Amino acid sequence: TDGVQRIRGLAGSGKTIVLALKVAYLHASHPDWLIAVTFNTRSLKKQFENLITTFVREQTNEEPDWDKVRIMNAWGAPGGKDRTGIYYEFCRDHGVEYFDFKSAGKFGSDGQFEGACDVALQSAKGFVPKYDAILVDEAQDFAPNFLLLCYEYLKNPKRLVYAYDELQNLGKGSLPPVEDIFGKNPDGTPRVVLQPEEPEKSPVLQKGRC
């Protein structure tokens, strides 16, 4: 779908596979799009590489163009393509202060990344749309403002897909409603609304049974 899509499901319900399939489909359909896949657990990078490669081959008989499909950690750091991340690139492209894990300690032991993202969003003088689509796995492990950062980094129509398990979050609570995450328009209406009549924008994955 165009716009924001929220995917919920318990561990083992296939969220990572669904995201990889989406990337492969979008890349095959729109090879000129710049697509980012991001996550919290570093070991997911190799898994995404393998899944996306397999699914793209099935659809196009070709290898993915890794200049257009970028698999990266959420935080990231200077040091080249293998170390970059969504947050680091956002800071670099917007000319705002970047915090690594150590320097972000000023935001508290449980708020390093949330504080760093908050400074980046507040310091940007104008958002620079870069990506055509961003897909976020393990969204339950991030503060909501990281999803807002991804949203502001997107070209219209803001194709943001995030998947999460409400029962496996590293923080203290579940993700809030989209109306709270993405804020309001100048006229007071929500920027993002997931309508009940559009279930494809908020699917719930079910675990299979033997």
Q: What is the 3-state secondary structure (H, E, C) of 114-178?
A: HHHHHHHHHHCCCCCCCEEEEEECCHHHCCHHHHHHHHHCEEEEEEEEEEECCCCCCCCCCCCCH
> How many Cα atoms occupy the beta-carbon half-sphere of 104 within 13 Å?
21
Predicted local distance difference test score (pLDDT) of residue 76: 96
DSSP 199: G
Q: Read off φ and ψ for residue 19, nearest 5 degrees.
A: -65, -40
Q: Read off φ and ψ for residue 195, nearest 5 degrees.
A: -80, 145
Predicted local distance difference test score (pLDDT) of residue 210: 41
Local confidence pLDDT in tens for the 210 residues of the chain: 799 999 999 888 899 999 999 999 999 999 999 999 999 998 899 999 999 999 999 999 999 999 999 999 999 999 988 899 999 999 999 999 999 999 999 999 889 999 999 999 999 999 999 999 999 999 999 999 999 999 999 999 999 999 998 776 555 557 899 999 999 999 999 999 998 778 889 898 987 654
* Residue 72 to residue 83: CA distance in whole angstroms: 8
Contact between 32 and 134 (Cβ < 8 Å):
no
3-state helix, strand, coil in the chain (%, to 5): 35, 20, 45
**Using N-to-C axis directions, what is the helix angle for 112-123 and 86-94, rounded to 10°?**
30
**Using N-to-C axis directions, what is the helix angle for 44-60 and 15-29, rounded to 10°?**
40
Predicted local distance difference test score (pLDDT) of residue 173: 59
| Strand-by-strand arrangement of the 154-164 sheet | 69-73, 35-39, 131-136, 154-164, 4-9, 204-205
The amino acid present at 86, given as its one-letter code, is I
2 token code pair: 């165009």
22 token code pair: 């989406």
For the entire predicted model, the pTM comes to: 0.93
